[in-house]
Amino acid sequence: MAKILVGFNTVDEGFERLCAQHTVIRPQTNKDLRTEELMELIEDCDILCSTITHAVTGELMARGKKLKLVANYAVGYNNIDIDYARVHGIAVTNTPRSVVAPTAELAMALLLSCTRRTAELDRRIREVGGKLRLPRLEMLGTNLYGKTIGIVGYGNIGAAVAKRCLAFGLRVLYYKRTRLAPELEAAQQIEYRPLEDLLRESDIVSLHTPYTLASHHQIGERELALMKQGSILINTARGSIVDEDALIAALKSGHLATAGLDVFEDKDVPRPGLLELPQVVMTPHVGTKTYEAWRSMVDELVDNVLGFLDGSPNISRIV
């Protein structure tokens, strides 16, 4: 029987399989455990179930004398000291499948809100008490049909966004480090471009790159300048992939028309310059915030934990 520390609060459904076979410690409130609580509880635990808001440092893992697995309740794992885990033989898993559909849907929601200015119009109609009558040429939106979207980072989420964009009549370009085989590109109706060419050709750029040191500020002042005048940036990946100050400058100058952002550079808190721009659509890192996603992520996490304990190779293992 393993002792499992679950450091975060989420839906209850799905944990029954763990509790039936093992000792499970979960938060007693609707809040995640604080770092100091994790440090206190992890000492004799075999497994830590963490989420992206937990900094799973070498110090924390060292405190777990029996720790064998960190099971992350997220697709990203930049909250975990992967090098320490690898050196000390601690396995790391994530939940990549469950996040695909909800994150792709949020990217589309941000995109549609940017092109049809729904968030701006909602604010305006509330401000005037519902009696909003716009002049014919004021606050015009733009069509998606016939436009070109460039997807940066063509993994599972990027591919899901591409599929949805094709349904809206968009032409889809993509960039990833390793190009797909021509037959896959043809089957998925997508076209490969090097990053700089993609930025130049796209009316919309949607980011789906994992965050690493190599992708830090992947979209900076130079890359933003390459984008079309009046284009749109969507980011549902990680905030630090974009140089936020450079983005604010590009938006203020009018070089970019708007941006749809679910993530931000400073611990997911938007900088004041973004708050001053009414055309920018923002959500507070809610890509997976649906009941169905969280429920499915629990199943995926539990599958990883039980599979690891059973020695199964069929788990979403990072380390």
Percent of the chain at pLDDT above 70? 100
- 129 pLDDT more than 90: no
Q: Residue 7 in contact with residue 79, Cβ under 8 Å?
A: no
Tokens 């370009």 — which residue? 173
- pLDDT, one tens digit per residue, over 157-173 is 999 999 999 999 999 99
* CB crowding 194-225: b at 16 or more within 10 Å, else e: ebeebbebbbbbbbbbbbeeebebbbeeebbe
pLDDT digits (tens, 9 = 90+) for 198-252: 999 999 999 999 999 999 999 999 999 999 999 999 999 999 999 999 999 999 9
Pairing outcome for strands 281-282 and 91-93: unpaired
What pLDDT band is residue 260 in, cutting at 50, 70 and 90?
very high
Any idea which fold 100-282 has?
Answer: Rossmann fold (3.40.50)
Average per-residue pLDDT for the chain: 97
Q: What is the pTM of this model?
A: 0.93
Q: Mean pLDDT lowest for which of 73-77, 150-154, 158-162, 305-309? A: 73-77
Between 7 and 76, name the one with better pLDDT: 7
Q: Give the C-alpha separation, 242 to 193, whole Å.
A: 20
**Distance of alpha carbon 88 from alpha carbon 58, whole angstroms:** 10
Name residue 256's beta-bridge partners: 231
When pLDDT is cut at 50, 70 and 90, the band that residue 267 belongs to is confident
Q: Would you state the structure tokens that stand for residue 164, as one six-digit string?
A: 């949805």
Q: How far apart are CA 92 and CA 80, in angstroms?
A: 9
State the residue for tokens 């994992």. Answer: 210
Which helix (H) or strand (E) segment holds residue 69: the answer is strand 69-72
User: How far apart, in whole angstroms, are the C-alpha atoms of residue 193 and residue 151?
Assistant: 10
Alpha helices for the chain (secondary structure H) = 16-21, 35-41, 58-63, 82-87, 100-116, 118-127, 156-167, 182-188, 195-201, 221-226, 244-253, 272-275, 291-310
Instruction: Count the neighbouring beta carbons within 10 Å of the beta carbon of residue 272.
Output: 8
Task: Decide yes or no: CATH 3.30.70.920 for domain 3-98+290-310.
Answer: no
What is the per-residue pLDDT across 46-55, written as a single tens digit (0 to 9) for each? 999 999 989 9
Domain range annotation of the chain: 3-98+290-310, 100-282
Sheet hosting strand 91-93, strand order edge to edge: 23-25, 3-6, 47-50, 69-72, 91-93
Indicate the SS3 state at residue 300.
helix
Q: Is there a common fold for 3-98+290-310 and 100-282?
A: yes
- C-alpha distances (whole Å) from 188 to each of 161, 164, 166, 173, 236 are 12, 11, 9, 11, 22
- CA distances for 47 relative to 44, 73, 304, angstroms: 9, 13, 11
Query: What spatial distance separates the first Cα and last Cα of the chain, rounded to whole Å?
Result: 23
Q: Burial code of 122-158, b = ≥16 C-beta within 10 A, e = fewer?
A: eeeeeeeeeeeeeeeeeeeeeebeebbbbbbbbbbbb
What lies within 8 Å, CB to CB, of 217 at 6+ separation is 240, 241, 242, 243
Judging by beta carbons within 10 Å of its beta carbon (0-12, 13-18, 19+), is residue 110 exposed, middle or buried? buried
Give the pair of three-digit tokens for residue 4.
């499992």
Q: pLDDT grade, residue 130 (50/70/90)?
A: confident
Of the candidates 85, 113, 154, 63, the one whose C-alpha atom is nearest the C-alpha of residue 257 is 113
